[in-house]
Structures are given as structure tokens and as C-alpha cells.
Amino acid sequence: MSCEVEALQVYSTSWISVGIDLQDGVGDMVKRNLTPDELEAEETLSELVVENGVDKAPTFSVVIVNFNGGDYLQAAVNSLVQQSYKDFELFVVDNASSDGSMERLDTSGIERVHLMPEETNHGFAKGNNLPAKLAKGEWLVLLNPDAVADEDWLLKIKEGIEAYPFAKMFASAQYSLDEPGIMDGAGDCYHVFGIPWRGGYGRPASEMPQTGECFSPCGAGAVFHRQTFLSVGGFDESFFCYCEDVDIAFRLRLQGERCVFLHQAMIHHAGSALSNQVGDFAVRYGTRNRLWVFVKNMPFFAFWIMLIPHLGMTLLIYLGGILTGRAKCVRLAFIEAAKGLMLILQARKKVQCDKKLNSLELLRCMSWSPIFFLTRKSDVRPVKN
């Protein structure tokens, strides 16, 4: 069976973005195969900024996905008001919050704002996919609602894009919002045994690496070339949240794309403040999705070579769950991972069919040191052009 036929079978609903028809200088929306959720999301868009009768696309489309963000959400938006680089539009997606954070949100300092109140909690994955299809910016920039960006954040991202034109993914330098002397992350790492972690999380800020190449951006401050993001279907919505950033980076890596960590593009992140830090929710979805990332994306030879070590690490994680009183959450994650296995295997067909890198090339992008994983060290390497 051809790759094209398999792709149609795996994804019955294609990811097709909303385009702009400028033939008459009007800027009419062109809708193709939009789901009801997408149509509803589109109807919430504010009036477009028009210059000389033609819609002017911004450089960045910044997306914040909120769920009961409280005062964190306003602080995140306020940090965008203060940006030194102003060529961006903002999408705020609200996943059916009940705390009033969306209703009292003040966005008056930003010129182009699209508020998207949803009636359902779509999770982080779909919550970002919806505006990604409607956005106009060349680059998609994600900011967690519990994060605050430095005033030059977007400027430094723009400078990074210009300095590394080959890269389609960029990672921000993340510091703890409450403890500035502590790192929140320097991109995401992925061990060859199939274990991801946020590089440098919880380590001294003095260890923040210089600009270099990492495996994946962390979703709290990730940057993606928008059309590249959409070309692989965006985030996998079955993940809901956790590891969806590593999953899409893995898929893009398989297609030969690279990720650059920008040490001067800084945000300050509360870190799981809105989903119970290292709580049952995080353990459940993180464990399930980690298994799915490995099964879905690891190339054939690497999969079979690393399967036994991966299962061994999974057993150790379960034993750790027993010690921390979260064994039930881990077992539930195993059960949910097994229930979704057929869908993940179907998705694997397309991922492996589309890949351009072989097992050896991919493994070179990953971390090999067990010390790095056990101590959560970052793995940022010099950029090779």
C-alpha cells in the first residue's frame, strides 16, 4: 500500500488552514473542510487589521491557552504589552475556565487580539491547534498562561530566526517565576531509551547554556514555523497535554528539521502551577504520552534496540510511583496507553512513511548520558550549519 493511501487512512480529517484570498484586495476567508469547532473558533475572531485595503500578516502569532489561569493570565498578557517588538497578533484560547480569568482579562495594550472562549476543555494540544489554523503570522509562538516574557523576548526570537534560517523550531530560556535563581528549562531533552525531560529543570540559573541545538522546544515558550507546524498536523490532540511538544518535535526531527535554543529569549514560568506540580494529573498524562511518543516515533531499528531499555525505565518509573504513592496513577496511565495503542500504531505508519532520517541519524540527536537524565541536566549542543 502506498504512503499516500496509508496517510489518508490514518488521518481521515486533514489539517487544512484558513487562507486569505487577496485577488480582489478584499481578504475573504477561504474555508476548507473545517470542523464545527474550527468554524466556531473562526467566528470569534476580531476584525482584521487592514492596511491599504490588504490584510497585513504579522511576523508572529502568539498563542496563550488558558484554563483557570487566575491572575497568571493577566500577567502573561501584560508581558506581551511590554514587548519591544510589536509585529504580532495574539490569540487567547480559553478552555472553558470557571474562574472568571477570561472575562476580566484586559488586552487593551495589544493592537491585534483574537479571544477564543471555548465551551469545552480541549487541552493544550487542540487548544493550540485551533488558533494555529486561523493565524496569519509566519511564526507560531506559544506562551503558557503562567509565564511572563521578558520585554525583548520576541525581538530575540526574531534575531534567532535571522541568525539560524535553517531552523523551523526554537526554544526559549525558561527561568522559575518564583525563584529567579532556578532554571525552569533550556528546551526539552530526549534520552535514547525513550525518556524525555525538560533540560535543566530545577537546576541553578548559572547553568543556563548558551545558544545551541536541543532536541525539542518546551511548549511553555515554543516557537514553530507555522506552515511547518501545520504540515505535520500540529500537536497530536489525542495527547491532550504533556509530551505533545516532544512528540511534534520528534516528528519534525524525523523529517530533517532542527531546533535551536535561544538563551537570550527569556521567559519566567511558574511551572505546572495550573495543573498541580508533579501531581496525579501530570503523572497520568505524562506517563501515558511518553509511551505513545516512543511507540509512534522511534524508527524501526532504534525501536527494537531500545525497546528493552525503555521497558526497564518504565518499570523503574512504576517502582518510583509506588514509593511516592502514585502507583495507581501510573497503572491507569499504562491502561490508557494500551487502550489507545491501535490508534498510535496507525499514526506510526504515517510518521515512519514520511521520515527522512534513519535510526542512526536520529539517535545522534538524542541524549545518551544517564547522568544527564537522572540529574535533569540540559543537553544543548553547538549549532552546526
Q: Give residue limits of the domains in the chain.
A: 21-385
| 326 exposure class (CB count in 10 Å sphere: 0-12, 13-18, 19+) | buried
* Cα 237 to Cα 12, 162, 241, 245, 320, distances in angstroms: 14, 31, 8, 11, 28
pLDDT (average), residues 112-134: 97
What does the pLDDT read at residue 35? Answer: 53
pLDDT (average), residues 23-37: 37
Q: Give the number of other Cβ atoms within 10 Å of residue 134's Cβ.
A: 20
pLDDT at 92 over 90: yes
Query: Using an 8 Å Cβ cutoff, are 225 and 139 in contact?
Result: yes
Hey, which residues does 113 pair with through a beta bridge?
Answer: 90
- Which triple of cell numbers denotes residue 36? 464545527
What does the pLDDT read at residue 2? Answer: 41
More confident site: 73 or 56: 73
What does the pLDDT read at residue 287? Answer: 94
* Cα 131 to Cα 31, 134, 190, distances in angstroms: 14, 5, 28
Picking from 240, 235, 202, 230, the residue whose alpha carbon sits closest to that of residue 217 is 235
Query: Which pTM was predicted?
Result: 0.85
pLDDT at 330 over 80: yes
21-385: CATH topology is Spore Coat Polysaccharide Biosynthesis Protein SpsA; Chain A (3.90.550)
pLDDT digits 0-9 by tens, 274-324: 444 457 888 899 999 999 999 999 999 999 999 999 999 999 888 988 888
Q: How far apart are CA 344 and CA 10, in angstroms?
A: 10
